[in-house]
Amino acid sequence: MEDIGIPELAIEQVAELCEGAEGAARQYVLSKVSASRIVTLDISVDAEGTKPLTVNVDVSVVLSPLMKDFDVEALTKEATKRAFAHIEEYLRELQCKSKK
């Protein structure tokens, strides 16, 4: 991710960032697949450091055998993109607040 000039983050802000990213990925997956068709949904968002901040997102989905023709790889890639989009938006908002 590009350097967008964010301030050093507090622990609470890092936790909020991770929770929001996880929620964005989960919301995307559940918007594409019914919860009853999901066997396992694991979303991990880990952040290290405060400046620079390194964030890793891992989305793993196991679907019901009834969903055998569904492209799970594309689903997990897009969910990961949504999580990172949320992270970037959150950091840009912090950048704007810190300039005020």
**What does the pLDDT look like over 35-80, one tens digit per residue?**
999 999 999 999 987 777 889 999 999 999 999 899 999 999 999 9
Neighbour-count burial for 36-55, b at 16+ CB within 10 Å, e otherwise: eeeeebebebebeeeeebeb
Residue 65, amino acid:
P
Ordered domains of the chain (ranges, CATH):
11-93 (3.30.300.100)
Using a cut of 0.75, tell me whether the model's pTM lies above it: yes
Residue 92, amino acid:
R
CB 91 within 8 A of CB 3: no
**What does the pLDDT look like over 15-40, one tens digit per residue?**
999 999 999 999 999 999 999 999 99
Count other Cβ atoms within 10 Å, centred on residue 92.
13
Whether residue 6 is predicted with pLDDT greater than 50 in this model: the reply is yes
